[in-house]
A and B are shown apart, each in its own frame.
Chain A
Amino acid sequence: MARRLVRGLVALVLFQTILFALIHSLPGDFASIAGAFGGRAARAAIQHRLGLDEPLGRQYLDWLWRVAHLDFGESFFYSPERVTDVLLARAPRTLLVFLSAAVLSYALGLWLGKQVAWRRGGRLELATTVASVAAHTSFAPWLGFLALNIFAWNLGWFPYQNLINFNHWLEADISVDAILLRMVISAGLIFAAGLSSAVTVRRVRQRGRRLAVRAMIIFASLLACFTWWARSGYASLALDVSAHLALPLGTVVLLSFGETLLTMRATMLETMGADHVTAARARGLPESSLRDRHVARVAMLPVLSRLLLSLPFVLVGSLVIERVFFWQAMGQVLFNAIEYQDLPLIVGVLSLVGALVLLSHILLDVLYLILDPRLRYG
């Protein structure tokens, strides 16, 4: 494990080196963009302020030192805000879309994949395969546009675009981000309750009772969340945000569940012929138990690794979708940064994506150690 961490760290340093080299191999430097209209003296002043007049080696060490402290300097577009603050301020908004989309699409894909593989052949399989391939290969902005057109314009079910409806917020004494943060926390709590319920009911033998216990735990957590929101008095604001969240979230889920479904289906089919499944069937175990406990649990391992590896792509999808729906978050920051050539911000976003990928890889190794007994005892 320690070796894995060291390797990750080395990769991170190399990654930053490449970024540094890239930025410095560009024609001009930070100052030539920032001081384009200020003449030579202004340019020299900016160069001095950004430390660009120092030798390259010194600059490189400075760069690494600052990155290690999560300091990417001052954003050009959002000046005088620091890049880290700009990104942090918008993190809850993106996290709400990105994390819930990831969880929802994985849950949907795993469950559907399981069902489809179990009933192999026939129309159901063909229909789900076609649907998931079509969703997976759809062009993200187009799918967002279609969702807007159908559900917001023609059917009028959801408000279109933007984060909130300002009319509801005129008298609010709380910021959007504070509400969003609370929503992230409560969604996380409900998710944790669902996960822990699955773990706790393992000891319960009877199937009917198991389901009842699970339903009770999830219901209790939902109830607790609802009462908390109702008592806080911000429920209507949260509802407003949720209504605006529905379409972008749905689109990202639609874009990313297909891959999970297809992978899950393939690994399920692979596992279904294994000897231990035949043995379990010969013992007379019910089909649902065979499916869930003997096939799905084994089949899930390789799918899990694919999932974590596809996490950055879900992030990209949600950033683009944020842009399409004018969900003012990190996607907007990224596109603004590109539009206005905000180099420090771009470096910040790239570093963030890199760190996320590294984190998911390390998480994957840890998860494998926990979930696959062969690695622990082998």
Chain B
Amino acid sequence: MAELQSTLSQPLASQKNKLRRQQAEDSWQLFRGHRTGMIGLALIAIFTLLAASHPMLMSTVWDRRRYDPIVGFDMAYFPHPSPPSIEHLLGTDNYGRDVLSQLLFGARVSFGVGLTAGLVAAVLSTLLGGAAGFIGGQIDQLLMGLADVAVLMPAPVVLLIFGLLVRMEWPAMGILYGLLTGAGAQAIIVKSQTLALRAKPYIEAAQAAGGGRLHIFRRHVLPGLLPLTAVNLFLTVVGAVLTESLLSYFNRTRVDLSWGTMIWLGQETFRRHTMEGQWHAILPPALAIMLFCSAFYLVGRALDEVLNPRLRAR
């Protein structure tokens, strides 16, 4: 009884904060129990460290002339590509550039393009889908018409063909990818979720209590949409990174160097010597793309399972 008294005497705001913290902690506990999700999270952490380590290594240990990912060249080694050695842990590519340095540099590009696309798609789909589902009427018609058109333009194809018209830097690519995916299929999914949320009794209760439309949307609908937004974010990253690599592989971007370019260069060494190739130049970027995308995919899937109560029960 005394405990109840003390809780009731606290101000409402701190109560709310406490509740929210409790919820976040519960979700985290659930996520921690998800094996593959944790593997994905660990991989993302590793890649973050790798991407962050590149500028540090460049400014301290690595000599810029020999280790620069784009214009570096090591004259002590001949011929290039040279196999892994103490100084070049993953060897060098056909232009005499350090593969490890390139790999770390590529991680930055992948993070950039992936997170840009993911954020744009997640925010856009939540806003468009939420507005369409919550407001309804003509706005709904308009936004869903927009989504119908966006759905007809799958982002990889459009980006591949856009590469012809304008060679893009990675931020433009990420934003365009995010716009196309966010306004299309994802907005439609978010809308159906909003419709399901709107039918919940607590929304009605909030309306009866005199809550304004904006207030209800912000405080009661948006939190319900957040899980879906998070899932969308992580799954968009996968597609965006793969598409960026594809474009770079076909030399359709203005990105100096990314994992896609590295794979193309590694493949070149094979074409020249037909049978024998430089596996040390092609394996690292190929595995990096796979692990990077797997990490985001696994976390997205795990979030889907953890935050979706129907799947959680078992």
Contact = CB atoms under 8 A, between A and B. Distances in A.
Q: Specify whether A and B are partners.
A: yes
Interface of A: 7-8, 10-12, 14-15, 18, 22, 26, 126, 129, 133-134, 136-142, 145-146, 149, 153, 262, 266, 269-270, 272-273, 309, 312-313, 316, 320, 334-335, 338, 341, 346, 349-350, 353-354, 357-358, 361
A202 to B, nearest CB: 29
| Among all A-B residue pairs, the 9 with the closest Cβ atoms | A137-B293, A11-B148, A354-B152, A142-B286, A312-B154, A338-B164, A14-B149, A139-B289, A15-B152
B163 A338 contact: yes
Contacts of B238: 137
A294 B244 CA distance: 42
A7 B148 contact: yes
Given A137-B294, A145-B267, A316 B156 contact: yes
Interface in B131-152: 145, 148-149, 151-152
B16 interface: no
Contact of B154 (A26, A269, A353): A353
B157 A141 contact: no
Contact of A11 (B149, B260, B293, B305): B149
B154 A313 contact: yes
B242 A139 contact: yes
Interface residues of B, number: 48
Interface of B: 35-36, 145, 148-149, 151-154, 156-158, 160-161, 163-165, 185, 238, 242, 245-246, 249-250, 252, 259-260, 263-264, 267, 270, 275, 277, 282, 286, 289-290, 293-294, 297-298, 301, 304-305, 310-311, 313-314
B148 A141 contact: no
Given A10-B145, A149-B270, 8 more contacts: A10-B148, A26-B165, A139-B245, A140-B242, A269-B311, A269-B314, A313-B154, A353-B154
A145 B263 CA distance: 10
B164 A346 contact: yes
A129 B36 contact: yes
Contacts of B164: 338, 341, 346
A243 B259 CA distance: 32
A15 B153 contact: yes
A8 B185 contact: no
A160 B310 CA distance: 48
A357 B155 CA distance: 12
Contacts of B298: 133
B311 A266 contact: yes
Nearest to B35: A126
Contact of B145 (A14, A129, A316): A14
Given A141-B246, A266-B311, A153 B152 contact: no
A137 B270 CA distance: 23
Contacts of A146: 286
Contacts of B35: 126
Q: Is the interface of B mostly helix, strand, loop or mixed?
A: helix
Contacts of B270: 145, 149
9 contacts: A10-B145, A133-B298, A137-B293, A270-B310, A316-B157, A334-B160, A341-B164, A350-B161, A354-B153
Nearest to B161: A346
A357 B154 contact: yes
B254 to A, nearest CB: 15
A303 B260 CA distance: 31
Nearest to A357: B152
A341 B172 CA distance: 21
Residue among B185, B245, B270, B290 having the largest count of chain A Cβ atoms under 10 Å: B290
A312 B311 contact: no
Nearest to A142: B286
B152 A12 contact: yes
A136 B294 CA distance: 8
B250 A273 contact: no
B258 to A, nearest CB: 11
A178 B84 CA distance: 51
Contacts of A26: 165
A139 B290 contact: yes
A287 to B, nearest CB: 17
A341 B252 CA distance: 13
Of residues B149, B158, B260, B293, which shows the largest number of chain A Cβ atoms within 10 Å of its Cβ? B149
A268 B122 CA distance: 27
Of B250, B259, B305, most buried by chain A (CB within 10 Å of CB) is: B250
A162 B293 CA distance: 30
A262 B304 CA distance: 12
A168 B238 CA distance: 43
Given A139-B242, A312-B154, A7 B145 contact: yes
B227 to A, nearest CB: 15
Given A338-B252, A353-B154, A357-B154, A142 B148 contact: no
